[in-house]
Structure 1
């Protein structure tokens, strides 16, 4: 009898919960049937118009005859409309601007003559090459591909590579290496241009690109070596060429220390760059709604881009506002899921996934969070399989929640046995460029550098403008600016994925 009473009680509670959920859904409009509940009858008198004078953050707007904007108000309205649209365009198109800036810089700053030329960070990346949170502990190799110039293009990679290819909107096309279709054995990847009608050969890993420009990046380990050895290694083994011609003459350039500017401008000139992208890439690459907004700003495929003095000023303000908003999203995120551990200040770089979608909608702030501080998109940059791929966490604040500043001294204690299959590394970055910190000293400590280890297996890393007496594992900061760090997990293991291993926060030293 007692069991029966409990069952009845449970069913009653369940019914109450379902009814409450149904009422809540109805209130939200999810299940609202207007035929059953349209609300009380209304007449024309129930319409609530905006007033003839509207106070806004860009001035007081006045309307004659109740609704006709005065000449002065009309100008204010269009100025603000254009500024808002341009500001949002800066953020919406930042991924495309980022990839275009990288490709352009490699041709301009490294002297590439064709997609077959290869750049190699043979002596590691330096602060003179401002790649967004690029690292200085692995040897990069990369190529800039243009399917409009070369048509179907082959990327022939050697065994053991780790990397990926992204299209002109900085969207994922494929991985190279163990997480790609070659499974670490190397092979020939064929990228087909938009609208390609022919039949693709069977002996390639084939990918159709929605845009013309592609950036292919990969990392080499071990046998690749450094310096001249790494340059020769990649020149002999990494080949990029048109399918129609087969392998052709190419160069491999040691880009370490050459200097490059891979970042989109943070002023009005960025819209000239955006126009170049719109003119070159197929219209189908971008959302029609976004293109419609650009058209109102004078950026439209097949038409000249000639902003007058008014629009140049608006573009300049919009770019700076876009930067300000992007900085807030990255450095002061309001996303409730930003922290990797609930009681720590370590933050995710990919909040939920690498496709920037959440519950059926585009996750636009998560997209800005990644693309304003990093490059390349691949599902294996957010590893959930032990020992596979990589994972990254950032820290902008100390234990008390204050920003990390270069004129102060800090200690970061890395607990024993970081859960990685390959290696871990902590690297310091400049918050202005989001690139390697140019402090004039060491900016990286990691397991490959054999850091000094405490008796309990933990590693103390010190940060500050001057090396603390008697301490090793020191990262030099710039006293005139802030800094942040990225903690890299190459081949993260269960302790990281399951969050049983927890990083400490930065401690401010007195």
Structure 2
């Protein structure tokens, strides 16, 4: 469920020991701190974006939720969904934030039957695991515990260790047609007890703020480090950030920085944001058809740039074993997808092998938000995709205007990208023998049958 964090000694934040050198001359200090700042932003982006979301949802004055309580979305995500970028529209989301410093939290789930559902357990550094039929079968009672916990759970309880004290739970329950009322009943049957509250004063930062203001970003990063520590196998990398005012005895303070260091952090923050934006189309392994497959989402290990870009694209990416996804920003000829060049035609000779279901969803490139189609159609597949029907083919037309096609996915006039999600992927997806074909450009209209 994650990686164990190091015990941070002395001040409670950073290991004791002599700090590294910091150049005294302005040019040297600017170069050195700028290089460290770029690494700090890349390394810390997943944790800071999650912390900012937690701030807005449960910590800020007037926040709509509270810790250790599920907040349930009652309708599928739309263009105004504010939780994170690139949401799916196949499930209803519920999310909760936990503080496990005082010990376990107990989660109890209802019986979901044949309906797909998973509780994604995400530590503060975006390492993810799942409580789902794939991982625990029909178990319904769980204890979420910090990795250092050495207690004993009652009989009938499944223990789920997590790598950090602050934990994000992201529940997804499949929507079948228009059965929202049934999903609401399942959401309301989920219970969560036992986690403590963040009773210590902590900084509050906004989700937009930490991507626009370097000072807000570092306040958030400092808060994450103080609450959760550093993964033990990443300490050598993170320790060097002490030169930036992090990991010290006092909370990070812009006023404590000299002018040169502050300027270097501001400049390197801007460079890092540009780097992350430019990296969005590069996620995953190319399939040769224009699509890329993201193999290590939710479990990036030491691939810190890939981890940062993934979370910049959208928080809460699930591990590939639970939800394999393919992304494409281009057509089969490598030309960027855009409504001005539509219509496009996507033909899947056989449906994606899925033990649950699959869907293709469309997003704006610049914002990662769903396209505000007047008909509210953002995806094809989903609940209408029968996992038992592998006869194929599946055809869809992507265009700005209605072409008369039976399966029409509306797109904006500008640039867009597609995500193909396969929930509980079949063996051919897992072993890589099934990949989606390219998106064909300038397709003629497909008449309705």
TM-score tier after normalising by the smaller chain length = 0.7 to 0.9
- C-alpha contact 1:421 1:491 (8 A) present in aligned 2: yes
Partner of residue 48 from structure 2, selected from 97, 105, 113:
97
What is the CA–CA distance in structure 2 between the aligned matches of 1:263 and 1:227, rounded to whole Å?
A: 34
What is the CA–CA distance in structure 2 between the aligned matches of 1:223 and 1:301, rounded to whole Å?
A: 51
**Residue 243 of structure 2 is aligned to residue 288 of structure 1:** no
- C-alpha contact 2:109 2:190 (8 A) present in aligned 1: yes
Q: Give the corresponding residue for 2:211.
A: 265
- C-alpha contact 1:151 1:192 (8 A) present in aligned 2: yes
Using the size of structure 2 for normalisation, the TM-score is 0.77
Q: Give the corresponding residue for 2:163.
A: 210
For residue 135 of structure 1, report the CA deviation from its aligned partner.
Answer: 0.2
Partner of residue 323 from structure 2, selected from 390, 414, 417:
390
- C-alpha contact 1:407 1:477 (8 A) present in aligned 2: no
Q: Superposition pairs for residues 380-419 of structure 1, below 5 Å?
A: 381-383=319-321, 389-418=322-351, 419=353
Q: Give the corresponding residue for 1:106.
A: 57
Instruction: Check 1:304–1:448 CA distance in 2 against 1; reply closer, same or farther (3 A cut).
Output: closer
Q: Give the corresponding residue for 2:174.
A: 221
**Residue 109 of structure 2 is aligned to residue 157 of structure 1:** yes
What is the CA–CA distance in structure 1 between the aligned matches of 2:356 and 2:104, rounded to whole Å?
A: 35
Instruction: Check 1:474–1:261 CA distance in 2 against 1; reply closer, same or farther (3 A cut).
Output: farther
What is the CA–CA distance in structure 2 between the aligned matches of 1:464 and 1:223, rounded to whole Å?
A: 26
For residue 315 of structure 1, report the CA deviation from its aligned partner.
Answer: 3.1
**Residue 133 of structure 2 is aligned to residue 178 of structure 1:** yes
Q: Give the corresponding residue for 2:199.
A: none
- C-alpha contact 2:177 2:384 (8 A) present in aligned 1: no
What is the CA–CA distance in structure 2 between the aligned matches of 1:292 and 1:202, rounded to whole Å?
A: 41
Instruction: Check 1:201–1:230 CA distance in 2 against 1; reply closer, same or farther (3 A cut).
Output: same
For residue 424 of structure 1, report the CA deviation from its aligned partner.
Answer: 2.0
For residue 472 of structure 1, report the CA deviation from its aligned partner.
Answer: 4.1
What is the CA–CA distance in structure 2 between the aligned matches of 1:459 and 1:429, rounded to whole Å?
A: 21
What is the CA–CA distance in structure 2 between the aligned matches of 1:291 and 1:509, rounded to whole Å?
A: 49
What is the CA–CA distance in structure 2 between the aligned matches of 1:222 and 1:471, rounded to whole Å?
A: 24
Instruction: Say which SS state the counterpart of residue 245 (structure 2) adopts.
Output: coil
Q: Superposition pairs for residues 66-105 of structure 1, below 5 Å?
A: 74-105=25-56
Q: Give the corresponding residue for 2:71.
A: 119
Render the CA deviation track for 1:462-481: whole Å, top value 9, x for unaligned: 3333333x2343333333x4
What is the CA–CA distance in structure 2 between the aligned matches of 1:428 and 1:239, rounded to whole Å?
A: 33
**Residue 85 of structure 2 is aligned to residue 132 of structure 1:** yes
Instruction: Check 1:156–1:262 CA distance in 2 against 1; reply closer, same or farther (3 A cut).
Output: farther
- C-alpha contact 1:392 1:489 (8 A) present in aligned 2: yes
RMSD (CA atoms): 3.4
What is the CA–CA distance in structure 2 between the aligned matches of 1:490 and 1:288, rounded to whole Å?
A: 35
Q: Superposition pairs for residues 328-339 of structure 1, below 5 Å?
A: 328-332=278-282, 338-339=285-286
What is the CA–CA distance in structure 1 between the aligned matches of 2:110 and 2:410, rounded to whole Å?
A: 37
Count residues in correspondence.
396
Render the CA deviation track for 1:401-427: whole Å, top value 9, x for unaligned: 122224331313222331333322110
Instruction: Say which SS state the counterpart of residue 320 (structure 1) adopts.
Output: helix
Q: Give the corresponding residue for 2:311.
A: 371
Instruction: Check 1:496–1:169 CA distance in 2 against 1; reply closer, same or farther (3 A cut).
Output: closer
What is the CA–CA distance in structure 2 between the aligned matches of 1:300 and 1:508, rounded to whole Å?
A: 52
Partner of residue 145 from structure 2, selected from 192, 204, 220:
192
Q: Comparing both chains, which one has the higher relative contact order based on Cα–Cα distances under 8 Å and sequence gaps of 6 or more?
A: 2
What is the CA–CA distance in structure 2 between the aligned matches of 1:495 and 1:144, rounded to whole Å?
A: 35
Q: Give the corresponding residue for 1:471.
A: 405
Instruction: Check 1:110–1:478 CA distance in 2 against 1; reply closer, same or farther (3 A cut).
Output: farther
Q: Give the corresponding residue for 2:15.
A: none
Unaligned runs of 5+ in 1: 1-69, 245-259, 384-388
Unaligned runs of 5+ in 2: 1-22, 197-205, 444-449
**Residue 290 of structure 2 is aligned to residue 345 of structure 1:** yes
What is the CA–CA distance in structure 2 between the aligned matches of 1:461 and 1:365, rounded to whole Å?
A: 34
What is the CA–CA distance in structure 2 between the aligned matches of 1:437 and 1:314, rounded to whole Å?
A: 37
Mark the structure with the bigger radius of gyration: 1
Instruction: Say which SS state the counterpart of residue 343 (structure 2) adopts.
Output: strand
For residue 302 of structure 1, report the CA deviation from its aligned partner.
Answer: 3.2
